[in-house]
């Protein structure tokens, strides 16, 4: 993120652009970016849950998994 003191945020943006330009498909490239985050870690649990939810939502969207399917599997005996 913008608060990272170890790595310039431009590197992540350039890598995402490179992946977009060189991929052989029309699938999106996900760049998880937070303007307030840095390189230190130690995120609150609520932020970890929010980030994981975003990542899984993107993954499920790309795999065509619908929320109803996940709910049925989670509650199946």
What confidence tens digit (pLDDT) does each residue in 10-53 have?
Answer: 888 999 999 999 988 888 998 887 777 766 667 788 988 998 99
pLDDT at position 19:
94
Position 2 in a domain: no
User: Does the residue 42 lie in any domain?
Assistant: yes
The predicted pLDDT at position 38 comes to 66
Could you tell me if residue 39 is inside a domain?
yes
Q: How far apart are CA 55 and CA 49, in angstroms?
A: 10
* pLDDT value of position 60: 92
Residue 51 lies in a domain: yes
pLDDT score of 18: 96
**What is the number of structural domains in the chain?**
1
Q: Do the domain assignments include residue 1?
A: no
Q: Give the model's pLDDT for residue 61.
A: 92
In a domain, 46, yes or no: yes
The DSSP call for residue 5 is S
On whether residue 4 sits in a domain, the answer given is: no
pTM (predicted TM-score): 0.67
Residue at token pair 């990272």: 4
CA dihedral 64, 69, 74, 76 (to 10 degrees): -150
Q: Residue 43 sits in which domain range? A: 9-75
Q: 55 in a domain, yes or no?
A: yes
């Amino acid at each position: 993120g913008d608060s990272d003191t170890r790595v310039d945020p431009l590197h992540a943006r350039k890598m995402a652009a490179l992946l977009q330009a060189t991929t052989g498909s029309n699938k999106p490239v996900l760049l998880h970016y937070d303007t307030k985050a840095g390189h230190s870690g130690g995120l609150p649990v609520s932020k970890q849950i929010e980030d994981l939810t975003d990542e899984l939502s993107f993954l499920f969207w790309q795999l065509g998994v619908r929320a109803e399917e996940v709910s049925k599997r989670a509650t199946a005996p």
